[in-house]
Structure 1
Amino acid sequence: MIVPMKKVTLVVLDREREDALKALRKTGVLHIEKQEAQSETLEKLTSTLADAEQALAVLGEYAGKNTGKSSSHSGDTNNASEIVEQVLQLREERKEAYEIMARTGRELDRFALWGDIDPTDFDYFAEKGIYFFPFEMSVDDYTAIPESVRSIIVNRDKKNIRCLIWGEDDLLHAGMPPGAREIVLPEKSTVELRSDFETAQARIPKIDAELTTLAASIPVVAAYIDALRYEKEFETVRAGMEAVAVTENGNHPADLAALCGYLPTEKAPAISKAAAKNGWACLITDPDDEDAVPTELKNNRFVNLIKPLMDFLGTVPGYREVDISLWFLLFFGIFFAMIFGDAGYGAILAGISLWGIFSARGKGTTPPPALSMMVYLALMTMAWGTITCTWFGIPVEHLPDFFKTIALPAFSNENPTAPDNIKVFCFTLGLVQISVAHLIGIVRNRTSLKALGELGSLMMTVGMYFVVLNLVVSAEKYPLSDIILGSIGAGFLLNFIFINFEGAIGKGILESLKNIITMCLGVVNMFGDIMSYIRLWAVGLAGAAISATVNEMAGPFLGGFIIFAGVLLLVFGHGLNYVMNALSVIVHGVRLNTLEFSNHLGLTWSGFKYEPFSETGNK
C-alpha cells in the first residue's frame, strides 16, 4: 500500500538555521522539498564531490590489478582529499603523456625519411646568409626545377624526392613547380622529439603502477564521497530554505527561514515533538493536489519480495496512483516461470539462491533481499516445469514415469494438444491481468460515473479475449456469438460516454468526440494487448528448443572417451540459454507488467521515493 503522507511547513529563526537542520536531521522523518539553492559552500562541495567521484572511477579501472599492494593512505580517511588530488594529478599526467606521445609520434613519422633534423641548424645557417628550405616533391617536379635553383637531395624513392632548396636570401625562387610542397620544420629537433616520446612512454607504466597501488584506497575514497554527499545534502537544504523578512529597519532583512517537506502520517507526532522542543513554528496539513508528494510503500514480507526488482527498474508509482506490488509479484512470478519453462533450471536457481542465503546467515550477515525473490521465482519455475513435464530439455519419453505422473495432462509435453492449451492459458492470463486493472479502476472510481467507463473497458476486454481465441486458436471451438459481439459494442459505448466523465456526461462525451480516433483505436489496442501475452508461449518454446538442441549436440560425446567435451557443451549451451532466458524475462516479463497492465490501470510510474532527511540517509 501507499502510505498516507502529511505536508509539513517549518519556520525557524534564521540565525538558528544550521542548528535547526541538525536537530531535524536527527528526527530522520521529514522528506524535504528541494528548492533551488546557491552558496559558495555548496559550489565548493559540488566541485569537491565531482573530483572525488572522478578519482573513484579512475581507481575502479585499476582495482582488479591490485594484488595486495597497499597504499600509505589506504586506511586513513583523513587523507582522502590528498588521495583524490594525487589520483587526479596522475590521471592528468597520464593524459598528457599520451598527448605527448601522439604529438611527437606524428612529428617523428613526418620526418622519418629526413634523418635527424634540428631547426636551430637552419637558424645558424640563416645567420650566415645561407637559407635552406625543405621540400618534398615528385621526381617529375624535381626535374622541372629551373637550373638557377640550387638544391641538395636528402632522400629519394621511386616516386618522391626530399631535398633542401637553398639560396642567399629568405625568398623562395618563383619558378618552383606547383607540385612541390614546402615542409614546415618541427619545433624541436628530432633527437629531442624522440627523447620526449621515450620519456612519456616510460612514464605511463610508472603512473599505472602508482594508480594500481592507490587502488587499495578505494574504500577510503568511497567513504569520503559518502561524507561529501552527506554534507552536500545538508548544505543544499540550508541554502535552499526560504528567507522570511519580518523587520523593516534593514538591520535584519531575513529574521526567519522556512522549509517544506512530507512525512508519513504516523510519523507526524515525531516532528511535532521536535518542533515543540526546539521552538519551531510547525504547520502539518494534508498535501494539496498540485504538491509533488513522495511515495512510501508499505507491504508485508511476501509482497516485499518484489522490492529488489522494483528498485532495479527504478519504478515508483505516483503518490495518488495505486500500488500494484502484489499483482506485480504474482504475475511476474508466472511470467518468469513460463519464460524459463524448465523445472531443472528452476532447481538450479533455487539451489544457488538458498546457498547464498545460508552462506550469508552463516557469516552473521543479512542475506540480500534479491535472494529471497530468486527463491520465489525458482519455485514458480519448478512448478511450471513440473506441470509441463520439462526437465533440462530432456525428451519426455526419456524421463522417469514419476515426472510424467505429476505433470498436468492438459499442459504436459506428452499431450499433442498442449501447445494450443498453453496458448489459451496465455490469453487467459492476459484477460485476468487486464481485467484486474479495470476492476481496480471501477473500485477507485466507485463514487463517480467514470466507473461505468471502466466497466465498459472490462466488457471489451472479455469480448476481445474470445475474438483472439477465435482467430488464433480455433474458430470452431470458440465461435463469435452475438453475446460476445454485443459485449464489445456495449463496452465501447459505455467507455465512450463515461471514461472522460468530469462532473457532466455531456462534457465527457464531448471530450471523447475530440479523441474519436483514439477511442476507436482503443478497441484494436485491446485486441493487441491480449494478443501480446502469446509471447510467453513463444519465448518459452524457443528456450525449450534450445535446450533440446544442446542435448542432441552433446549426446554423441557423452558415450565416448571425449566425454569432457560433451559435459563442456552441456554447461556452455544450457548456461547460454539461461542467460538468454534472463534477458527475455526483462524484455517480456517486465514489459507485460509495466506497460500493458500499467496502461490499462492508468499507472504512469511518475512517482519518486520517500527519502527522509536523516543521519544515515547519505552518510
Structure 2
Amino acid sequence: MKKISLVVLDAERKKALQKLRKLGLVHIEEVEGKGETFNAYKNDCERLHSAYAVISEIKDKNAKNAQQPLSLEEASAKAAEITAWSAEIKDMEDKILSAKTELERLERWGGVDTDDLAFLQDKNISLSLYEIPIDKYASLGEEIKTIFVNRDKNITRFLLIEKDGDADRNVSDKAFLPPEAYAVPLPSVSTRRLAEDIEQLSAAKKQTAEKIASSAVYAEAIKKAAVLAEKALEFENLNSGMGRDEAGEYALAWLTGFIPASDLASLQKAAKEENWALVSADPAEEDAVPTKLKNNKLVSLIYPLSDFLDVVPGYREYDISGWFLLFFAIFFGMIFGDAGYGSLMVVLSLIMTLIGFAKGKKPKSEAGLLFILGAATLMWGTLTCSWFGIPHDKLPSALVSLAFEPFSSAYAAQSEANNRWVVQNLQIFCFSLALFHLSVAHIKSIARNIRSPKFLGDFGALLMLWGMFYVVLNMVVDNQRFPFDAPVPIAALSEYPILYPVALFVAVGFALSFVFSSYEGSIKDSILSSLKNLISVLLGVVNVFSDIVSYIRLWAVGLAGAAISSTVNTMAGPMLGGFIIFAGILLLVFGHGLNLILNVLSVIVHGVRLNTLEFSNHLGMVWAGFKYKPFKE
C-alpha cells in the first residue's frame, strides 16, 4: 500500500471526488461530514433503511411477485410514510400496554369510575381505595368509616370514607389506619374508559399495520433507493468532511488515503490530467492501513468464510489465507467425520455450479469452498469407515475395504484391544496435526525475524513445542506406548532415557524464548521485559501443553456427531420395516439434518478457533486489520 495526499482547488472539490469515485482505487481515510446537506442525506438514508427493515419482515408472496417501481424522490416519501406509521404503531402499543397494566392492577376491584369519585369529592365526600390484611381490617375501630368491597385469601379491599365537612373530627381517618393499610393509587381515567381505549387503539393499530402491509410492493424500490442514498451520503460525507483552507483567493481542499502500489500509476495519471497535487509515500508505522488480500483462485475460496467471520489480518500481519483454507478443510472433515455427509456436500456444490453455468454465471466461491469441505469430509469418513452412522457390518464390503485400518471404526469394533489401538491412533493424529500446524506458525516467525537475534526466541518456542508434544503423548495417549525411559534412536544418546532429550528441548527452548522473545535491539532489555512478565512467561510453557491438547477436540466432537448419527439410525430402524416407514424416513431426515446443523456450529466454534486463536497466537497475530474499501461507484 501507498499512502497518498491529494490537494485540489476547493471550487473543484466535487468534480475531483467524482473523478476519484469513477477511478475506484483510493481507500480514503475516515472523515466526519457536516452541514445541512450532509444531515439531510443522513436522515434520508436512515429513513430508507428503517422503512425497508419494517416492510422486509412482511411475508406476502403476492407482494413479493408484484413489486412496484418508484423514483428516488417517491421512494424517500414512501419511506417517510412507512417510518411514521411504524412510529404510530409503537406509540399505540405503548399506550395499549399501559392501559392493560392499569386494568390488571385494578382487576380485583371490579370497576373504578373516576368521574363518580370526582362527583362525590365535589359533595365533600372523599373515597380512597385501600388494601389491608384480613385480620387488620377486622380490628379497625368503628370511628373509621369504610365500605367493604371484597376479599381474597389474605387481603381485604375497602373504601375509606372521609367527609371534609365533618365537624366532629379534627384529624383525617387516614391517620388512624394501621401501617399495613396500602393506599391504592387511582387510575387517570375510569377502567371502562381504559377498556374502550384498548379497543380503539387496537383497531387503529390494525388499520395502520394494513397500510404498512400494502406498502410491501415497494420493498425492492426502497431497497435500491437505500443503496443509492448510501452512495450519496458517502459522497457528501467526503465532500463536506474534506480538509479545507478557505483563506485567500485560491481556496484549497485535501484528503488522504491509501492505494495499492500497483494502482498508483493510474492515480498519478489522473492527477496529471486534472491538475491535482498528489504526494505518495510508504505508510508510517502509526498509520492505520487497510488490508487488501491477494491470492490465487484456489486460496480465494476461503474469502466467503473470512467475510462471514469478519476477520482481517492487519496490514503488517501475515496473510494466512492458504494455511487457513488447508487446515480448516482438515478440521471440517474431522468434525463432520462422515463420508455420507461429505458426499451430499460434494453433490450439492456440483448442483450449485451447474445452476450457475445454466444461468450464464461464473461458479460462486461458496460452491468451490463447499466442494473442498465436502471432499475433505468424504476422505476422512472413508478412512474411518463412517457412512451416515451405519454399522460397519451392514455396509458394503467395498466401502469397508477402503478404510484405513489404524483409523477404521470397523477394525476397532473387532475387539477391545483393537478399539484402544484405533482410539490412540486418532489421538496421536490430532496431536501430530497440532505439532505440524503450530510448527508452521513458529517457522514463519523464524523466517520473519531471521535477520535479528529475535529469531532465537521463535526457535526456542519451537523447541518447547516439540518437547511438550512428547509430554502430551505420554500423559494423554499412553505412558506405556510413549514412556519417558524409552531408548533414544540416536547412537550418541542411546544410553539416556528419552526424558533427557524432552527436558533438554523444553529447557533450552524456554531459555532462548526468555532471553530473545522480547528482543528489540538490546538483550538486556529483552531479559528485563521477560522478568517483568515472569508469571506470563512461565505460564507460556503450560499454554504450549494446553494448545496441543486442545486439538483433541477434533476427534471428540467428531465422535459425538457419529454417536448422534448412530442413535438416529437405531431409533428409525424398526420403523423402516413396517407400515410406519414414512415416520422412519421423516425421523432419519430430521435427525441427520439436526446433526448437520450441530456439526456446522461445532466447526464454527472449534474448527475456526484452532486457526484464529491457537495458530494465530503462536504466530503473533491479533487480526487487527480492516478491509481495503476503495471509494468507488
Regarding TM over 0.5, the answer is yes
How far did 1:411 drift?
A: 1.6
Over residues 298-357 of structure 1, what are the superposed CA-to-partner deviations in whole Å (9 max), with x where a residue is unaligned? 101110111111101111111111110000000110000001111001011122222222
Over residues 19-78 of structure 1, what are the superposed CA-to-partner deviations in whole Å (9 max), with x where a residue is unaligned? 21111111100000113443333233333323332222222332x145438899664543
Distance of 1:494 and 1:185 partners within structure 2: 78
Distance of 1:458 and 1:295 partners within structure 2: 29
| Aligned-pair Cα RMSD in Å | 2.8
How far did 1:154 drift?
A: 8.6
Matching residue of 1:565: 583
Matching residue of 2:501: 483
Matching residue of 2:198: 197
How far did 1:96 drift?
A: 2.4
1:500 is matched with which residue: 515, 518, 522? Answer: 518
SS at match of 1:410: helix
Distance 1:350 1:156, change over 3 A: same
Distance of 1:430 and 1:100 partners within structure 2: 60
Deviates more, 1:327-336 or 1:503-512: 503-512
Distance 1:418 1:124, change over 3 A: closer
Matching residue of 1:465: 469
* 2:557 is the counterpart of 1:539: yes
Distance 1:377 1:163, change over 3 A: same
Distance 1:114 1:555, change over 3 A: closer
* 2:288 is the counterpart of 1:292: yes
Distance 1:148 1:490, change over 3 A: closer
**Is contact 1:145–1:175 with CA below 8 Å preserved after alignment?**
no
Distance 1:495 1:77, change over 3 A: same
2:34 is matched with which residue: 23, 31, 38? Answer: 38
Matching residue of 2:218: 217
**Is contact 2:33–2:238 with CA below 8 Å preserved after alignment?**
yes
% same residue: 43
Distance of 1:168 and 1:455 partners within structure 2: 94
TM alignment of 1:209-608, pairs within 5 A: 209-244=210-245, 247=248, 255-415=251-411, 416=418, 417-480=421-484, 481=498, 482-608=500-626
Question: Which runs of no fewer than 5 residues in structure 1 stay unpaired?
Answer: none
How far did 1:193 drift?
A: 3.5
Letter in 1 for 2:408: S
Matching residue of 1:133: 127
Over residues 411-430 of structure 1, what are the superposed CA-to-partner deviations in whole Å (9 max), with x where a residue is unaligned? 22233222211111111111
Matching residue of 1:97: 92
Distance of 1:512 and 1:183 partners within structure 2: 68
Distance of 1:113 and 1:555 partners within structure 2: 57
Matching residue of 2:177: 178
Distance of 2:203 and 2:592 partners within structure 1: 47
Distance 1:384 1:69, change over 3 A: closer
Distance of 1:103 and 1:303 partners within structure 2: 57
Distance 1:321 1:84, change over 3 A: same
**Is contact 2:127–2:162 with CA below 8 Å preserved after alignment?**
yes
**Is contact 2:469–2:545 with CA below 8 Å preserved after alignment?**
yes
Distance 1:97 1:71, change over 3 A: farther
How far did 1:226 drift?
A: 1.3
How far did 1:167 drift?
A: 4.4
Letter in 2 for 1:199: Q
When the two structures are aligned, how many residues end up with a matched partner?
602
Distance 1:433 1:212, change over 3 A: same
Distance 1:20 1:118, change over 3 A: same
Deviates more, 1:606-615 or 1:175-184: 175-184
Letter in 2 for 1:413: S
**Is contact 2:129–2:186 with CA below 8 Å preserved after alignment?**
no
Over residues 578-602 of structure 1, what are the superposed CA-to-partner deviations in whole Å (9 max), with x where a residue is unaligned? 1111111111110110001001111
How far did 1:185 drift?
A: 5.3
Distance of 1:504 and 1:114 partners within structure 2: 83
Over residues 347-378 of structure 1, what are the superposed CA-to-partner deviations in whole Å (9 max), with x where a residue is unaligned? 11122222222223323344432121011100
**Is contact 2:314–2:626 with CA below 8 Å preserved after alignment?**
yes
Deviates more, 1:97-106 or 1:590-599: 97-106
SS at match of 1:12: strand
